[in-house]
Amino acid sequence: MQWTVRLEARTSAGEVKTTELVTFSRPVVVSTLTEIGLVLSETKALLARLQASMLCGQVAEYAAQHRVCAACGVLQPFKDRRTRRLQTLFGTVEVEAPRFKVCRCRQPVPMTGVTVSPVCALLTARCTPELERVQAELGARTSFRDGVRILESLLPVSPANHESLRSRTHAVALQLEAADRQTAAEVMAVRDEPDKAAAADASRPVVMLDGAYIRAVPGHQVRNFEAICGKVEREGQPTRRFALVRSVAEQPHALLRAALQDQGWREGDAVTAISDGDPALPALVRSATGGPVEYILDWFHLSMRVHHVEQVMGGLCALELPPLVPLDQAQIDVDRLRHLLWNGDHERACEALGRIVSWAKDAIVLNNLAVEAKARRLVARCTELRAYIENNEGALIDYGQRYRAGKPISTSRAEGTVNQLVSARMNKRRQMRWSPRGAHRVLQVRAAVLDGRFGQNAFQFAA
Ligand SMILES: [Zn+2]
């Protein structure tokens, strides 16, 4: 049995042209399942032929239309015929790009040999935007080598190597970054519109930030470098992610600013930022907004440090202590710590820590080895927690109150973003090493892919 696929093209002038694309044949008596229906290799061949036929016809029609002088309607003289190659998802197609002499009516001095090539003017890139986008998305989702394998196994796309997939991913990242910079710059333009400022939403955007370490390529001055990941959340809006490697981002604050703007933020609107105690993170938010930022220390990071104190105390309680070591007072203070911090009473928490430390120091001199080791640890943990509280004093709030109001108090969701953005593509298990620039660019595309910004019509690159 045989099947022939023919393509019927109808030009705008009503001319019909039929092209035979492919013929498939199968034995009349089918013996196995593999002989039923289309197979991948045939489909790829069909798609490639279809694409070539359609694209060449379209470009030829385009060239014919543009041969007509726009001013006087006369056909411009034919100069010569060149070819151009265009890479597409369905193969690389060589198209004809004829050159025409510019019509006499538009030449300053008649017949000076000025030529136009409408097809070359149309094909501004070596590949279609769709191919570039799909390659970039694959490059952001999986390794460059795997991305190439996936594409080549499913589509008649022209053979590519991982280097070209990488450069496409980088190219798209640069476009995304440029678009973000443009968005960030546009925020300023609405600065002085009072009605917009008045319309500022009561629910302010919350920026959650977290850092992640990525293994650097050999020869880089450090073994690991840091990527800052985060998300901007606002009630009733889909989450917007962002990520950057500060040392190589052209304008780090612009990337966050664009994310804020996407969430409806306006210059001058207040922003809440939640992060661990790293002072660089709120500083980034401040430089992005240029305005008021309410900075909250992440409850999870604070709570973990309280947990360390509780653990050591628990260890002490588990010892069979001589009656010389009264634990009760210290135990009460340790038990109160979490409650005090949760309710924003960090001054009393510091006092309690001071009492625990002085008690533990007394316990050290009791000359009981088991007690001494644990008491020293308790001193260290308490001192650590106290320093953490003091360094972040301005960022400690009444967590309980905020929590009961249904507002976020933790970056735990930002940590999820770190996992999605960094760990899944760049973690140690994959034995991958990155240059800061390469990681930064893949992160731009990855954030856009995960947000679904790639799939929307709204996703338009800046010119
Ligand atoms: Zn003319």
- Going from the Cα of 115 to the center of ligand 1, the distance in angstroms, rounded, reads 13
Whole-angstrom CA distances from 197 to 19, 202, 236 are: 61, 11, 19
Q: What's the one-letter identity of residue 193?
A: E
Beta carbons within 8 Å of 74's beta carbon, 6+ residues apart: 68, 103, 105
- Going from the Cα of 11 to the center of ligand 1, the distance in angstroms, rounded, reads 24
- Going from the Cα of 16 to the center of ligand 1, the distance in angstroms, rounded, reads 29
- Going from the Cα of 71 to the center of ligand 1, the distance in angstroms, rounded, reads 5
- Going from the Cα of 328 to the center of ligand 1, the distance in angstroms, rounded, reads 100
Residues with CB under 5 A from ligand 1 (ion): 69, 71-72, 103, 105
Q: Taking the CA of residue 63 as centre, how many other CA atoms within 13 Å lie in the half-sphere pointing to its CB?
A: 25
- Going from the Cα of 83 to the center of ligand 1, the distance in angstroms, rounded, reads 25
Whole-angstrom CA distances from 220 to 127, 225, 380, 396, 427 are: 33, 10, 35, 37, 18
Q: What is the pLDDT of residue 325?
A: 63
d(CA 428, CA 422): 10
**Residue whose C-alpha is closest to residue 64's, from 50, 75, 80:** 75
- Going from the Cα of 80 to the center of ligand 1, the distance in angstroms, rounded, reads 19
The sign of the torsion formed by the CA atoms of 228, 232, 238, 240 equals negative
Do strands 224-233 and 240-244 pair parallel, antiparallel, or not at all (unpaired)?
A: antiparallel
What does each of the 463 residues of the chain score in pLDDT, given as a tens digit? 899 999 999 988 889 999 999 999 888 887 788 778 889 999 999 999 999 999 999 999 999 999 999 888 899 999 999 999 999 999 999 999 999 988 888 776 655 678 889 999 999 999 998 999 999 999 998 889 999 999 999 999 877 788 999 999 999 999 999 999 988 888 765 555 555 544 454 578 899 988 888 888 888 888 889 999 888 988 878 889 999 998 888 888 899 999 998 888 888 888 899 988 888 888 899 888 887 788 999 998 899 999 999 999 988 888 776 666 667 788 889 999 999 999 999 999 999 999 999 888 888 777 677 788 888 999 999 999 999 999 998 899 999 999 998 888 887 766 777 777 887 788 756 678 889 999 999 999 999 988 888 765 433 433 2
- Assess contact for 174 and 240: CB atoms under 8 A: no
- Going from the Cα of 111 to the center of ligand 1, the distance in angstroms, rounded, reads 12
Q: Taking the CA of residue 325 as centre, how many other CA atoms within 13 Å lie in the half-sphere pointing to its CB?
A: 25
Q: What is the pLDDT of residue 194?
A: 53
Q: What is the pLDDT of residue 461?
A: 38
Q: What is the pLDDT of residue 51?
A: 96
